[in-house]
Amino acid sequence: MEIALLAPQFAPHFEGGTESVVRAQGRELVALGHRVRVVAGTDRAHAGNDVERAEVGGLTVAFLPRKADEYYDLELARPRLRSLLLELVRGAELVHVHHWSTLHAELVRDCARKLGVPVVVTLHDLFVTCPRFFRLPPDPALACPPRGVFDSCARCVAPGTGWSHERLLDGFEQRSAWVAAELAAAAALVVPSRAQAARVGAHVTLAPAKLHVVAHGLSEPLPRVVQAGWDGLGPLRVLFLGHRSDVKGVCELVRGAAGLPAAERARVELVLLGDEVVPGYDQELAREAQGVKLVFAGNYTLAELPARLAALGGLHLGAFPSRAWESYGLVPDELMALGLPVWVSDRGAPQERVGAAGRVLAAEDAAAWTRALASVLSAPETLERERRALPARSRSAADAARELDELYARLV
Protein backbone atom coordinates (compact mmCIF):
# COMPACT_ATOMS: atom_id res chain seq x y z
CA MET A 1 0.00 0.00 0.00
CA GLU A 2 1.17 3.54 -0.76
CA ILE A 3 0.85 5.56 2.44
CA ALA A 4 1.45 9.27 3.06
CA LEU A 5 2.21 10.44 6.60
CA LEU A 6 1.63 14.15 7.28
CA ALA A 7 3.75 15.41 10.19
CA PRO A 8 4.09 18.80 11.90
CA GLN A 9 7.91 18.65 11.60
CA PHE A 10 10.53 15.96 11.11
CA ALA A 11 14.16 15.14 11.76
CA PRO A 12 16.70 16.57 11.21
CA HIS A 13 14.85 19.91 11.35
CA PHE A 14 13.19 19.08 14.66
CA GLU A 15 12.06 15.96 16.49
CA GLY A 16 9.78 16.00 19.49
CA GLY A 17 7.47 13.27 20.70
CA THR A 18 5.05 13.43 17.78
CA GLU A 19 7.82 13.43 15.21
CA SER A 20 9.60 10.48 16.81
CA VAL A 21 6.33 8.53 16.75
CA VAL A 22 5.80 9.34 13.06
CA ARG A 23 9.37 8.35 12.18
CA ALA A 24 9.05 5.03 14.02
CA GLN A 25 5.64 4.41 12.47
CA GLY A 26 7.02 5.04 8.98
CA ARG A 27 9.97 2.73 9.55
CA GLU A 28 7.78 -0.09 10.85
CA LEU A 29 5.22 0.28 8.06
CA VAL A 30 8.04 -0.06 5.52
CA ALA A 31 9.14 -3.21 7.35
CA LEU A 32 5.61 -4.55 6.85
CA GLY A 33 5.94 -4.03 3.10
CA HIS A 34 4.25 -0.66 2.61
CA ARG A 35 5.60 2.23 0.53
CA VAL A 36 5.73 5.28 2.78
CA ARG A 37 6.29 8.95 2.04
CA VAL A 38 6.38 11.72 4.63
CA VAL A 39 5.23 15.31 4.09
CA ALA A 40 6.26 17.56 6.95
CA GLY A 41 5.98 21.17 7.95
CA THR A 42 9.00 22.98 9.29
CA ASP A 43 9.79 26.13 11.26
CA ARG A 44 12.87 26.78 9.14
CA ALA A 45 12.54 29.93 7.05
CA HIS A 46 11.60 29.67 3.40
CA ALA A 47 14.89 29.96 1.50
CA GLY A 48 13.63 30.01 -2.06
CA ASN A 49 12.49 26.40 -2.46
CA ASP A 50 8.83 25.57 -1.88
CA VAL A 51 9.69 21.91 -1.28
CA GLU A 52 12.88 20.64 0.36
CA ARG A 53 13.46 16.90 -0.03
CA ALA A 54 15.52 14.55 2.11
CA GLU A 55 16.06 10.90 2.93
CA VAL A 56 15.75 10.39 6.69
CA GLY A 57 16.31 6.93 8.12
CA GLY A 58 15.20 5.25 4.91
CA LEU A 59 12.09 7.45 4.55
CA THR A 60 11.48 9.95 1.75
CA VAL A 61 10.57 13.29 3.34
CA ALA A 62 9.26 16.43 1.65
CA PHE A 63 9.49 19.53 3.85
CA LEU A 64 7.22 22.53 3.23
CA PRO A 65 8.80 25.73 4.61
CA ARG A 66 6.35 28.53 5.32
CA LYS A 67 6.84 32.07 4.11
CA ALA A 68 6.84 35.01 6.51
CA ASP A 69 3.21 35.90 5.74
CA GLU A 70 1.94 32.35 6.35
CA TYR A 71 1.13 32.88 9.98
CA TYR A 72 0.53 30.54 12.83
CA ASP A 73 -2.94 31.77 13.75
CA LEU A 74 -6.46 30.55 14.42
CA GLU A 75 -7.24 30.10 10.72
CA LEU A 76 -4.19 28.25 9.34
CA ALA A 77 -5.33 29.35 5.88
CA ARG A 78 -2.25 28.73 3.72
CA PRO A 79 -3.39 28.28 0.10
CA ARG A 80 0.16 27.91 -1.26
CA LEU A 81 0.92 25.02 1.10
CA ARG A 82 -2.52 23.56 0.44
CA SER A 83 -1.89 23.17 -3.30
CA LEU A 84 1.68 21.95 -2.80
CA LEU A 85 0.60 19.31 -0.32
CA LEU A 86 -2.11 17.93 -2.59
CA GLU A 87 0.45 17.30 -5.31
CA LEU A 88 2.90 15.70 -2.89
CA VAL A 89 0.23 13.32 -1.55
CA ARG A 90 -1.32 12.45 -4.92
CA GLY A 91 -1.04 8.73 -5.68
CA ALA A 92 -1.20 7.60 -2.06
CA GLU A 93 -3.85 5.02 -1.26
CA LEU A 94 -4.22 6.23 2.33
CA VAL A 95 -3.19 9.41 4.18
CA HIS A 96 -2.42 9.54 7.88
CA VAL A 97 -2.58 13.06 9.36
CA HIS A 98 -0.56 13.62 12.53
CA HIS A 99 -1.05 17.40 12.87
CA TRP A 100 -2.25 20.56 11.17
CA SER A 101 -0.25 23.30 12.89
CA THR A 102 2.61 23.79 10.41
CA LEU A 103 0.61 22.77 7.33
CA HIS A 104 -2.99 23.96 6.87
CA ALA A 105 -6.50 23.61 8.26
CA GLU A 106 -8.07 21.48 5.50
CA LEU A 107 -5.73 18.51 5.32
CA VAL A 108 -8.36 15.84 5.93
CA ARG A 109 -11.09 17.32 3.74
CA ASP A 110 -8.74 17.94 0.83
CA CYS A 111 -7.28 14.42 0.84
CA ALA A 112 -10.65 12.74 1.38
CA ARG A 113 -12.65 14.77 -1.14
CA LYS A 114 -10.18 15.89 -3.79
CA LEU A 115 -8.04 12.75 -3.82
CA GLY A 116 -10.73 10.30 -2.78
CA VAL A 117 -8.61 8.36 -0.29
CA PRO A 118 -9.34 7.35 3.31
CA VAL A 119 -7.71 9.62 5.88
CA VAL A 120 -6.68 8.54 9.36
CA VAL A 121 -6.04 11.19 12.02
CA THR A 122 -3.98 10.70 15.17
CA LEU A 123 -4.74 13.19 17.96
CA HIS A 124 -1.36 13.51 19.64
CA ASP A 125 -2.17 16.48 21.89
CA LEU A 126 -5.04 18.88 22.61
CA PHE A 127 -4.55 21.03 19.50
CA VAL A 128 -8.05 20.35 18.18
CA THR A 129 -9.37 21.89 21.41
CA CYS A 130 -6.78 24.67 21.91
CA PRO A 131 -4.32 26.54 19.67
CA ARG A 132 -1.81 26.40 22.53
CA PHE A 133 -1.76 22.58 22.13
CA PHE A 134 -2.01 21.65 25.85
CA ARG A 135 -4.71 23.88 27.41
CA LEU A 136 -2.17 25.55 29.70
CA PRO A 137 -2.90 29.30 29.92
CA PRO A 138 0.27 31.37 30.43
CA ASP A 139 -1.71 33.62 32.76
CA PRO A 140 -2.68 31.67 35.91
CA ALA A 141 -5.65 34.01 36.36
CA LEU A 142 -7.25 32.44 33.27
CA ALA A 143 -9.07 29.13 33.42
CA CYS A 144 -9.84 26.93 30.43
CA PRO A 145 -13.58 27.19 29.71
CA PRO A 146 -16.13 24.47 29.02
CA ARG A 147 -16.93 23.33 25.50
CA GLY A 148 -18.18 26.03 23.13
CA VAL A 149 -17.27 29.00 25.38
CA PHE A 150 -14.44 31.14 24.00
CA ASP A 151 -14.27 34.37 26.01
CA SER A 152 -11.31 33.29 28.16
CA CYS A 153 -9.73 31.62 25.09
CA ALA A 154 -9.72 34.98 23.32
CA ARG A 155 -8.13 36.66 26.34
CA CYS A 156 -5.58 33.86 26.61
CA VAL A 157 -4.17 34.30 23.08
CA ALA A 158 -4.72 38.07 22.81
CA PRO A 159 -1.19 39.11 23.97
CA GLY A 160 0.33 37.36 20.97
CA THR A 161 -1.97 38.98 18.40
CA GLY A 162 -3.09 42.38 17.24
CA TRP A 163 -6.68 41.22 16.96
CA SER A 164 -9.64 42.73 18.80
CA HIS A 165 -11.54 40.64 21.33
CA GLU A 166 -14.49 40.42 18.93
CA ARG A 167 -12.29 39.23 16.07
CA LEU A 168 -10.71 36.62 18.32
CA LEU A 169 -14.12 35.35 19.43
CA ASP A 170 -15.13 35.01 15.78
CA GLY A 171 -11.81 33.31 15.04
CA PHE A 172 -12.41 30.71 17.75
CA GLU A 173 -15.91 30.04 16.44
CA GLN A 174 -14.50 29.47 12.96
CA ARG A 175 -11.69 27.32 14.35
CA SER A 176 -14.20 25.16 16.18
CA ALA A 177 -16.11 24.72 12.91
CA TRP A 178 -13.04 23.68 10.88
CA VAL A 179 -11.96 21.22 13.56
CA ALA A 180 -15.43 19.62 13.54
CA ALA A 181 -15.39 19.42 9.73
CA GLU A 182 -11.92 17.85 9.66
CA LEU A 183 -12.79 15.20 12.24
CA ALA A 184 -16.06 14.43 10.48
CA ALA A 185 -14.20 13.89 7.18
CA ALA A 186 -11.73 11.42 8.71
CA ALA A 187 -12.25 7.73 8.08
CA ALA A 188 -10.72 6.87 11.46
CA LEU A 189 -9.55 8.73 14.55
CA VAL A 190 -6.63 7.32 16.53
CA VAL A 191 -5.70 8.23 20.09
CA PRO A 192 -2.72 6.83 21.99
CA SER A 193 -4.61 6.32 25.26
CA ARG A 194 -8.03 6.12 26.85
CA ALA A 195 -7.18 9.27 28.81
CA GLN A 196 -6.62 11.18 25.57
CA ALA A 197 -9.93 10.00 24.16
CA ALA A 198 -11.75 11.21 27.26
CA ARG A 199 -9.98 14.57 27.43
CA VAL A 200 -10.39 15.46 23.76
CA GLY A 201 -13.92 14.08 23.71
CA ALA A 202 -14.93 16.54 26.42
CA HIS A 203 -14.39 19.40 23.97
CA VAL A 204 -15.00 18.04 20.46
CA THR A 205 -17.15 15.30 18.97
CA LEU A 206 -15.32 12.01 18.46
CA ALA A 207 -17.57 9.51 16.70
CA PRO A 208 -17.28 6.24 18.71
CA ALA A 209 -17.41 4.11 15.57
CA LYS A 210 -14.34 5.89 14.19
CA LEU A 211 -12.30 5.93 17.40
CA HIS A 212 -9.34 3.58 17.92
CA VAL A 213 -6.85 3.46 20.81
CA VAL A 214 -3.39 2.57 19.50
CA ALA A 215 -0.67 3.07 22.10
CA HIS A 216 2.59 4.35 20.63
CA GLY A 217 5.06 2.02 22.34
CA LEU A 218 8.82 2.55 22.31
CA SER A 219 10.28 3.98 19.13
CA GLU A 220 13.47 1.98 19.69
CA PRO A 221 14.03 -1.15 21.82
CA LEU A 222 15.91 -0.43 25.03
CA PRO A 223 17.86 -2.96 27.11
CA ARG A 224 17.29 -3.31 30.84
CA VAL A 225 20.37 -1.46 32.10
CA VAL A 226 19.37 -1.14 35.77
CA GLN A 227 19.53 -4.60 37.32
CA ALA A 228 19.57 -3.81 41.04
CA GLY A 229 17.34 -1.84 43.37
CA TRP A 230 18.05 0.47 46.28
CA ASP A 231 19.25 -1.11 49.52
CA GLY A 232 18.71 2.01 51.61
CA LEU A 233 22.39 2.44 52.43
CA GLY A 234 23.63 4.99 49.90
CA PRO A 235 21.74 7.95 48.46
CA LEU A 236 18.43 7.34 46.71
CA ARG A 237 19.18 8.42 43.13
CA VAL A 238 16.15 9.66 41.19
CA LEU A 239 16.36 10.18 37.41
CA PHE A 240 14.43 12.85 35.52
CA LEU A 241 14.65 12.30 31.77
CA GLY A 242 13.87 14.91 29.10
CA HIS A 243 13.44 18.65 28.65
CA ARG A 244 13.53 20.58 31.91
CA SER A 245 10.75 23.12 32.37
CA ASP A 246 7.90 23.94 34.70
CA VAL A 247 5.52 22.31 32.18
CA LYS A 248 7.29 18.99 32.80
CA GLY A 249 7.01 19.44 36.56
CA VAL A 250 10.75 19.44 37.36
CA CYS A 251 10.21 22.18 39.91
CA GLU A 252 7.76 19.97 41.85
CA LEU A 253 10.32 17.17 41.93
CA VAL A 254 13.08 19.47 43.20
CA ARG A 255 10.84 21.23 45.72
CA GLY A 256 9.52 17.88 46.87
CA ALA A 257 13.02 16.66 47.69
CA ALA A 258 13.86 20.02 49.27
CA GLY A 259 10.81 19.67 51.52
CA LEU A 260 12.34 16.69 53.33
CA PRO A 261 13.90 17.25 56.77
CA ALA A 262 17.51 18.42 56.45
CA ALA A 263 18.99 15.05 57.42
CA GLU A 264 16.88 13.26 54.82
CA ARG A 265 17.73 15.68 52.00
CA ALA A 266 21.30 14.42 52.09
CA ARG A 267 20.00 10.92 51.31
CA VAL A 268 18.43 11.98 47.99
CA GLU A 269 20.20 12.77 44.73
CA LEU A 270 18.34 14.04 41.65
CA VAL A 271 19.94 13.18 38.30
CA LEU A 272 18.66 15.41 35.49
CA LEU A 273 19.40 14.03 32.02
CA GLY A 274 18.27 16.24 29.15
CA ASP A 275 18.42 19.97 28.50
CA GLU A 276 16.91 23.10 29.97
CA VAL A 277 14.23 24.72 27.82
CA VAL A 278 14.69 28.27 29.14
CA PRO A 279 18.20 29.63 29.76
CA GLY A 280 18.81 30.03 33.48
CA TYR A 281 16.22 27.44 34.49
CA ASP A 282 18.86 25.12 35.95
CA GLN A 283 20.14 27.93 38.19
CA GLU A 284 16.61 28.41 39.47
CA LEU A 285 16.36 24.70 40.22
CA ALA A 286 19.65 24.83 42.12
CA ARG A 287 18.28 27.63 44.28
CA GLU A 288 15.12 25.63 44.99
CA ALA A 289 17.09 22.50 45.94
CA GLN A 290 18.11 23.75 49.42
CA GLY A 291 20.97 21.32 49.75
CA VAL A 292 19.56 18.41 47.75
CA LYS A 293 22.27 17.26 45.35
CA LEU A 294 21.40 17.94 41.71
CA VAL A 295 23.40 16.23 38.96
CA PHE A 296 23.02 17.96 35.58
CA ALA A 297 24.11 15.09 33.33
CA GLY A 298 23.88 16.81 29.92
CA ASN A 299 21.68 16.03 26.96
CA TYR A 300 21.25 12.68 25.22
CA THR A 301 19.93 10.89 22.17
CA LEU A 302 17.70 7.84 22.46
CA ALA A 303 20.36 5.64 20.86
CA GLU A 304 22.94 6.54 23.49
CA LEU A 305 20.55 6.46 26.44
CA PRO A 306 21.41 2.93 27.70
CA ALA A 307 25.13 3.71 27.71
CA ARG A 308 24.51 7.03 29.45
CA LEU A 309 22.53 5.35 32.22
CA ALA A 310 25.16 2.65 32.60
CA ALA A 311 27.82 5.34 32.95
CA LEU A 312 25.78 7.23 35.55
CA GLY A 313 25.37 4.00 37.54
CA GLY A 314 23.37 3.36 40.67
CA LEU A 315 20.02 4.82 39.60
CA HIS A 316 16.98 3.65 41.53
CA LEU A 317 13.83 5.52 40.50
CA GLY A 318 12.44 7.38 37.47
CA ALA A 319 10.37 10.55 37.87
CA PHE A 320 7.84 11.96 35.41
CA PRO A 321 6.03 14.76 37.30
CA SER A 322 4.51 16.49 34.27
CA ARG A 323 2.07 19.35 34.70
CA ALA A 324 0.95 19.02 31.07
CA TRP A 325 -1.83 16.74 29.93
CA GLU A 326 0.12 13.82 28.52
CA SER A 327 -1.70 12.11 25.69
CA TYR A 328 0.79 9.25 25.97
CA GLY A 329 4.21 10.17 27.43
CA LEU A 330 7.04 8.03 26.02
CA VAL A 331 9.47 8.78 28.85
CA PRO A 332 7.80 6.49 31.45
CA ASP A 333 7.98 3.61 28.96
CA GLU A 334 11.66 4.34 28.36
CA LEU A 335 12.42 4.48 32.09
CA MET A 336 10.61 1.22 32.80
CA ALA A 337 12.27 -0.54 29.87
CA LEU A 338 15.65 0.57 31.24
CA GLY A 339 14.80 -1.04 34.58
CA LEU A 340 13.50 1.79 36.76
CA PRO A 341 10.17 1.96 38.58
CA VAL A 342 8.50 5.25 37.68
CA TRP A 343 6.48 7.80 39.62
CA VAL A 344 4.22 9.89 37.40
CA SER A 345 1.77 12.73 37.85
CA ASP A 346 -1.95 12.14 37.54
CA ARG A 347 -2.20 14.19 34.35
CA GLY A 348 -3.08 12.08 31.37
CA ALA A 349 -2.04 8.69 30.05
CA PRO A 350 1.08 7.58 31.99
CA GLN A 351 -1.01 6.63 35.01
CA GLU A 352 -2.74 4.01 32.79
CA ARG A 353 0.52 2.11 32.28
CA VAL A 354 2.52 2.36 35.49
CA GLY A 355 0.47 -0.08 37.53
CA ALA A 356 2.35 -1.62 40.44
CA ALA A 357 5.70 -0.62 38.90
CA GLY A 358 5.48 2.90 40.29
CA ARG A 359 3.15 5.47 41.80
CA VAL A 360 0.73 8.16 40.65
CA LEU A 361 1.15 11.49 42.45
CA ALA A 362 -0.90 14.67 42.23
CA ALA A 363 0.34 17.09 39.58
CA GLU A 364 1.70 20.47 40.73
CA ASP A 365 1.95 19.17 44.30
CA ALA A 366 5.50 19.26 45.66
CA ALA A 367 4.27 18.05 49.04
CA ALA A 368 3.06 14.81 47.42
CA TRP A 369 6.62 14.18 46.23
CA THR A 370 7.96 14.99 49.69
CA ARG A 371 5.64 12.43 51.30
CA ALA A 372 6.39 9.77 48.70
CA LEU A 373 10.16 10.21 48.97
CA ALA A 374 9.96 10.16 52.78
CA SER A 375 8.02 6.89 52.67
CA VAL A 376 10.73 5.20 50.60
CA LEU A 377 13.55 6.61 52.71
CA SER A 378 11.95 5.00 55.73
CA ALA A 379 10.99 1.75 53.95
CA PRO A 380 13.27 0.94 50.96
CA GLU A 381 11.52 -2.40 50.44
CA THR A 382 8.47 -0.57 49.05
CA LEU A 383 10.54 0.70 46.13
CA GLU A 384 11.96 -2.80 45.58
CA ARG A 385 8.40 -4.16 45.25
CA GLU A 386 7.75 -1.57 42.55
CA ARG A 387 10.95 -2.53 40.73
CA ARG A 388 10.00 -6.20 40.76
CA ALA A 389 6.63 -5.32 39.21
CA LEU A 390 8.25 -3.92 36.05
CA PRO A 391 6.83 -5.58 32.91
CA ALA A 392 9.03 -8.23 31.30
CA ARG A 393 8.41 -6.77 27.85
CA SER A 394 7.78 -3.23 26.67
CA ARG A 395 5.28 -2.34 23.96
CA SER A 396 7.01 -1.24 20.76
CA ALA A 397 6.37 0.87 17.69
CA ALA A 398 6.27 -2.41 15.74
CA ASP A 399 3.26 -3.49 17.84
CA ALA A 400 1.53 -0.19 17.05
CA ALA A 401 2.34 -0.48 13.34
CA ARG A 402 0.76 -3.94 13.16
CA GLU A 403 -2.45 -2.58 14.66
CA LEU A 404 -2.43 0.36 12.25
CA ASP A 405 -1.78 -2.02 9.36
CA GLU A 406 -4.96 -3.91 10.23
CA LEU A 407 -6.91 -0.63 10.46
CA TYR A 408 -5.56 0.59 7.11
CA ALA A 409 -6.52 -2.69 5.42
CA ARG A 410 -10.11 -2.37 6.62
CA LEU A 411 -10.35 1.22 5.40
CA VAL A 412 -8.82 0.66 1.96
Question: 105 near 79, Cβ under 8 Å?
Answer: no
* Same structural domain, 375 and 313: yes
* Residues in the chain with pLDDT values less than 70: none
- Residue 60 sits in the same domain as residue 185: yes
User: Which secondary structure element, helix H or strand E, spans residue 201, and what is its range?
Assistant: helix 194-201
pLDDT in tens, 154-195: 999 999 888 999 999 999 999 999 999 999 999 999 999 999
Q: Is 307 helix (H, G, I), strand (E, B) or coil?
A: helix
My answer on whether 176 and 271 are in the same domain is: no
Q: What is the Cα–Cα distance from 130 to 137, expressed in whole angstroms?
A: 10
Q: Are residues 80 and 132 both part of a single domain?
A: yes
Q: Could you report the per-residue pLDDT of 13-25, keeping only the tens digit for each?
A: 998 889 999 999 9
Query: How many other CB atoms are there within 10 angstroms of residue 35's CB atom?
Result: 14
Asked if the structure places residue 14 within a domain, the reply is yes
- Reported residue count of the chain is 412
224: in domain: no
C-alpha distance from residue 89 to each of 36, 95, 187 (Å): 11, 8, 17
For 359-376, how does the pLDDT look when each residue is reduced to its tens digit (9 = 90+)?
999 999 999 999 999 999
387-404 burial, b if ≥16 CB within 10 A, otherwise e? beebeeebebbbbbbeeb
Q: What is the pLDDT of residue 9?
A: 97
Asked whether residue 223 is assigned to any structural domain, the reply reads no
To which H or E segment does residue 31 belong? helix 17-31
User: Which residue range forms the structural domain that includes residue 190?
Assistant: 2-217+397-411
Does residue 85 lie in a domain region?
Answer: yes
Same domain for 402 and 377: no
pLDDT (0 to 100) of residue 140: 85
Same domain, 90 and 184: yes
**For the chain, how big is the Rg over CA atoms in Å?**
22
Domain count of the fold of the chain? 2
Q: Are 363 and 50 in contact (CB under 8 A)?
A: no
pLDDT of residue 134: 85
